[in-house]
Amino acid sequence: MNGTIAWITARGLFGRRRFLLLFPLPVLLIGLVLLGRAADVSNADIADVALVGLGFSVVLPIIALVVGAGVLGSEIEDGTAVHILTKPLPRHEIILAKLAVAAGVTTVATAVPMFIAAALTDSVRLAIGVALGTALGAITYSALFLLLSLVSRRPVLIGLGYILIWEDTLVNLISGTRVLSVQQYALAVSDRIAGTDLLTGNVSTPVALVMAAVLTVASTVFAIDRLRSFTLAGETS
Amino acid sequence: MTTIELSNVSRWYGNVVAVNNITMTLGPGVTGLLGPNGAGKTTLLHMMAGFLPPSRGTVTVAGAPAWRNPSVYRILGLVSEREAVHGFLTAWEFVLANAKLHRLPDPEAAARRALSLVEMTEAQDRRIDTYSKGMRQRTRVAAALVHDPQVLVLDEPFNGMDPRQRLQMMDLLHELGAAGRTILFSSHILEEVEQVSGTVQVIVAGRLAASGDYRSIRRLMTHRPHVFSIHSSDDRRLAVALIGQPSVTGVELESTGLTVRAGDYGTFTRALPKIALAEGIRVRRLLPSDESLESVFSYLVAS
């Protein structure tokens, strides 16, 4: 991995105001669990509302979107990407460094609060399951949203559309759409590891793992190719 | 010798033709790419720098295609038009990062050399977002020069610079050109091109309108009158003698001297000394008053 690119990417990520968006959601998640505990809500309801309804459906994908679309997308948007692209570096080196930063930051920013929230909800075993499922989701989402920032000038809008329309709505209405939902992979893996009734995975664990791997690799390979053909807009375009 | 070669290059966006069948070879020295806004200069530069594929034709840098070929950046540096830098870094961090990305054997030394070339050593430890426009521009030039490229492509490099910084940048480009680098810069401001480079490529509406030394380009357009301002020991008598010349199309007598319009550059400049000698008039000053790029350019656009 290219350390210099990872360093600039991380500096860029933490230096932008968008980074502050990463904090309120995890705080909200843990707050909601604590509130449920204080109000004597059942573990099943806390898991359903806080861990699944807020954690897997909102916290994980939104943070992954902000980070994943930002690691390269914000540099493309403000034009600083040119400095990295005018180097004799194989394009996979650039994409892999960006992906590593996005996946790393998203995993830390989501798996840690999810672990705490799950531990507060029920048990450490649930917490481990939820954290690992979240990490899998973080990596897959990062690859997906990184690609999105290369194929569209509006990655956040399209990403939000995917999260809100596909994952949070269609998946509940049409069962076939679950196979293409990163959230469902994360849930399935968490469910399998935690081994409780508090979470219900809707796809099988092998399907979740294979699909997550396929999606991650395919997105990355496609992103590398797109970066090779990266164009700067001319004044007439 | 490192050259940029464009062969029958066209680029269109949908129905809009941005660059239309341009063939040119750019060798060592400074070349100015001149044209009004929207002429296709940036499109052309982006194709040379590997950020745009030509719709037709080929673009090569030192014999290798520029498109989808990152290894071209070993010998090419680009200063793009958009004033984009990582504002959260200091100039030192930024230029050093560029040196590391080039995998230079001694990135620190390269960064120091590049920063001193653009005279940014003093301010190098301040964050870039505290810099003036000109300082940012110089920092970007330092980053583009950090690997000592054979070819440097700059898109509107003088934008936002004050006159002193402009002169400094012009000197730097001169030096690099004189040292055998192939330097190409674009501008829509004629005097910039005039001051920095003798060689000009003029782009108008996506086409190469003229190419070569800008004075010879001017001379080629003989159907346009050339204007000279002359001051002599006896302006009135000289005016009478000149108006009798077939190469002269008009003479104005003013208190400061004569303004003479000549239809043919060569004939007039050869005839003038003979006339002055024959009439016993001493010519104190002879200035080709429209020999600026501005006039060359407006002729090209009009024709």
Residue B291 has a pLDDT of: 58
Residue of A nearest to B141 (CA): A83
Look at strands B199-204 and B29-34 and give their pairing. parallel
DSSP class of residue A199 equals -
Q: Do A4 and B100 touch (CB under 8 A)?
A: yes
Residue B298 has a pLDDT of: 66
B251–chain A Cβ distance below 8 A for any pair: no
Per-window interface: B 95-124 vs A, CB < 8 A = 97-98, 100-103
With contact defined as beta carbons under 8 Å apart, do B82 and A76 qualify? no
Residues in A closer than 8 angstroms to B71, CB to CB, are 88
Q: Is A139 helix (H, G, I), strand (E, B) or coil?
A: helix
B243–chain A Cβ distance below 8 A for any pair: no
DSSP-based helix, strand, coil % in chain B, nearest 5 = 40, 30, 30
Pick B37 or B283 by higher pLDDT: B283
Average pLDDT, integer, range B139-149: 95
Look at strands B16-26 and B151-155 and give their pairing. unpaired
β-partners of residue B76 are B151
pTM: 0.84
Handedness of CA B155, B161, B163, B166 (dihedral sign): negative
Residue B220 has a pLDDT of: 62
% of chain B surpassing 90 pLDDT: 60
B42–chain A Cβ distance below 8 A for any pair: yes
Q: Do A236 and B16 touch (CB under 8 A)?
A: yes
Q: How far apart are CA A140 and CA A4, in angstroms?
A: 24
Interface size between A and B, measured as CB pairs under 8 A: 95
Residue B198 has a pLDDT of: 75
Q: Tens of pLDDT along B92-106?
A: 999 999 999 999 999
Sheet containing strand B199-204, edge to edge, reads: B76-79, B151-155, B182-187, B29-34, B199-204, B207-213
DSSP class of residue B2 equals -
Tell me what ipTM this predicted complex has.
0.90
Residues in chain A whose Cβ is within 8 Å of chain B: 2, 4-5, 7-8, 11-12, 15, 78-80, 82-91, 228-232, 234-237
Residues in A closer than 8 angstroms to B80, CB to CB, are 79, 82, 232
B181–chain A Cβ distance below 8 A for any pair: no
**DSSP H stretches of helix in B86-234:** 91-101, 107-117, 133-145, 163-178, 190-196, 214-220
Q: Which amino acid is at B252?
A: E
- pLDDT bracket for residue A15 (50, 70, 90): confident
With contact defined as beta carbons under 8 Å apart, do A183 and A58 qualify? no
Q: Do A235 and B84 touch (CB under 8 A)?
A: no
Q: State the smallest CA–CA distance between residue A162 and chain B in angstroms.
A: 30
Q: Please check the confidence at residue B76 and state whether its pLDDT lies above 90.
A: yes
Q: How far apart are CA A76 and CA A82, in angstroms?
A: 8
- Where in B27-129 does DSSP place strands (E)? 29-34, 56-61, 64-65, 76-79
B86–chain A Cβ distance below 8 A for any pair: yes
- The three-point CA angle B50-B55-B57 to 5° equals 80
Interface test with B, best of A230, A231, A232, A237 (most B CBs within 10 A): A232
Q: Is A197 helix (H, G, I), strand (E, B) or coil?
A: coil
**Nearest CB partner across the interface for B88, out of A5, A15, A236:** A15
Residue of B nearest to A82 (CA): B80
Please classify residue B15 by burial: count the beta carbons closer than 10 Å to its beta carbon, then call 0-12 exposed, 13-18 middle and 19+ buried: exposed
Cα of first residue to Cα of last residue in chain B, in angstroms, is: 35
Q: State the smallest CA–CA distance between residue B62 and chain A in angstroms.
A: 15
Average pLDDT, integer, range A34-57: 95
User: Which H helix or E strand runs over B224?
Assistant: none
Residue B247 has a pLDDT of: 86
Burial profile A48-62: b = 16 or more Cβ within 10 angstroms, e = fewer: eebbbebbbbbbbbb
- pLDDT bracket for residue B293 (50, 70, 90): low
| B61, two tokens | 């840098």
Closest Cα partner for B76 from B145, B151, B162? B151
Q: How many CA atoms lie within 13 A of B169 on its CB side?
A: 27
Q: Tens of pLDDT along B259-277?
A: 998 887 788 888 899 999 9
Closest Cα partner for B208 from B29, B27, B31, B28? B31
Q: Tens of pLDDT along B171-219?
A: 999 999 999 999 999 988 777 777 887 788 988 889 998 888 877 766 6
Look at strands B151-155 and B182-187 and give their pairing. parallel
Q: Is A88 helix (H, G, I), strand (E, B) or coil?
A: coil
B141–chain A Cβ distance below 8 A for any pair: no
Q: How far apart are CA B220 and CA B210, in angstroms?
A: 10
Q: State the smallest CA–CA distance between residue A179 and chain B in angstroms.
A: 35
**DSSP H stretches of helix in B31-162:** 41-48, 91-101, 107-117, 133-145
B43–chain A Cβ distance below 8 A for any pair: yes
Residue B163 has a pLDDT of: 84
Average pLDDT, integer, range B291-298: 61
Q: State the smallest CA–CA distance between residue A84 and chain B in angstroms.
A: 8
Q: Please check the confidence at residue B221 and state whether its pLDDT lies above 60.
A: no
Interface test with B, best of A5, A76, A78, A83 (most B CBs within 10 A): A83
Average pLDDT, integer, range A90-95: 97
Q: Phi/psi at B29 (nearest 5 deg)? A: 110, 175
Q: State the smallest CA–CA distance between residue A207 and chain B in angstroms.
A: 36
| A20, two tokens | 């502050």
Residues in A closer than 8 angstroms to B95, CB to CB, are none
Residues in A closer than 8 angstroms to B68, CB to CB, are 228-229
Question: Which single residue is written with the structure tokens 């002729």?
Answer: B299
Residues in B closer than 8 angstroms to A83, CB to CB, are 84-86, 94, 98, 143
β-partners of residue B158 are none
Residues in A closer than 8 angstroms to B186, CB to CB, are none
Q: Tens of pLDDT along A97-109?
A: 999 999 999 999 9
Q: Please check the confidence at residue A235 and state whether its pLDDT lies above 60.
A: no
| B76, two tokens | 């090419």
Q: Tens of pLDDT along A168-198?
A: 899 888 888 889 999 999 999 999 999 988 9
User: Which H helix or E strand runs over A57?
Assistant: none
